[in-house]
Amino acid sequence: MEKTQIPFPIVIMKEDDLFVASCPPLDIATQGETEQEVKENMADLIDDYLNDEDTPKPNIKSIQAISLSYISVPGEYSKWESSGHLIRQKS
C-alpha cells in the first residue's frame, strides 16, 4: 500500500525561552528549544497520535478546512514595552 503524506496545520508561538506548537484539529501541543525542534517534536507527536488505536482519528475534510485569520481588537494600545508586552492606554 502506498503511503500518503497529509499536511497538518500547526501553530507555533515563542513563549519565554521555548517554542510551543499546537495542532488544533488534533487538540495536541508540544514544546522545544528551537523552532526546528518543536516542529520535529510535533511530527513525532502527530505520528504517535495517529498510530494509537484508542485515539479517534480526524476526518480529512476537517483538517483541510482550517484557516488562520487575524482580527483587530478595539481599543487604544501603546507601543510594545521593552518587556515585549502590549499595554492598553488608560482613559
Tens digits of residue pLDDT in 22-78: 999 999 999 999 999 999 999 999 999 999 999 988 888 877 787 888 888 777 766
pLDDT value for 59: 85
CA distance 5 to 16: 32
Nearest Cα residue to 21 out of 5, 43, 50: 43
To the nearest 10°, report the CA torsion of 26, 28, 30, 35.
Answer: 30
> Which grid cell is 80?
510594545
**CA pair distance 2, 53, nearest whole angstrom:** 20
Strands 18-23 and 11-15 come out as antiparallel
